[in-house]
């Protein structure tokens, strides 16, 4: 079950970053829309989850941000009772609660960094649901560290990722 939770946490980190390809909405907080977008190009994501054998590394191609959009707005999937990104003194606070296929996923975290060479997402994700076995209802903390690598290779388009 830890393996599934690790994969889900890593996937959420990749989704947050791939949302930076310019398709994100401003989100529910007007202040968050003023945060700098990630520098366009190839980013390397390293996702670390406690008690797992090793970090997961993924490369994601980020495109130009759409003016007025919030590149860090979490993707709205399913029915989201909460999908907030709020500016803080150090960066952003992330607070999501979405229900999809009878499962509720709650994510809280922070996003920090200069967004041109590095950034860091620290989050806790809890998945639960009435039809889920108790062992599948987990809470996972994870850290996603992003590092800018340069231009995207010719065979990658904005939003595409490779492990």
CA angle 30, 124, 58 (to 5 degrees): 90
Tell me: pLDDT of 7 over 80: no
Domain ranges of the chain: 2-162
How far is 45 from 55, CA to CA, in rounded Å? 10
Query: How confident is residue 77, by pLDDT bands cut at 50, 70 and 90?
Result: low
| CB 73, CB 26: distance < 8 Å | yes
Question: Where is pLDDT greater, at 151 or 83?
Answer: 151
In this predicted model, what pLDDT tens digit does every residue of 52-64 receive, in sequence order? Answer: 999 999 999 999 8
How far is 94 from 77, CA to CA, in rounded Å? 15
Range in 7-21, 77-91, 94-108, 146-160 with the lowest mean pLDDT: 7-21
Q: What is the pTM of this model?
A: 0.75
Q: DSSP per residue over 34-92, as a string?
A: GSPPPPSEEEEEEEE-TTSSS-EEEEEEE-PPPTT--TTPPP--SEEEEEEEEE-SSEE
Tell me: pLDDT of 162 over 90: yes
């Amino acid at each position: 079950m830890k393996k599934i939770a690790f994969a889900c946490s890593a996937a959420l980190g990749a989704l947050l970053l791939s949302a930076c390809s310019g398709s994100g909405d401003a989100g529910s907080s007007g202040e968050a829309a003023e945060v700098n977008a990630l520098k366009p190009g190839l980013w390397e994501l390293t996702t670390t989850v406690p008690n797992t054998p090793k970090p997961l590394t993924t490369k994601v191609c980020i495109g130009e941000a759409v003016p007025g959009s919030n590149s860090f707005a979490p993707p709205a999937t399913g029915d989201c009772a909460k999908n907030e990104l709020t500016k803080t003194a150090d960066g952003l606070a992330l607070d999501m609660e979405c229900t999809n296929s009878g499962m509720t996923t709650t994510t809280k975290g922070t996003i920090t960094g200069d967004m041109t060479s590095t950034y860091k997402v620290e989050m806790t994700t809890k998945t639960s649901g009435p039809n889920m076995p108790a062992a599948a209802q987990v809470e996972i903390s994870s850290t996603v560290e992003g590092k800018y690598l340069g231009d995207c290779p010719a065979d990658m388009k904005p939003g595409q990722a490779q492990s």
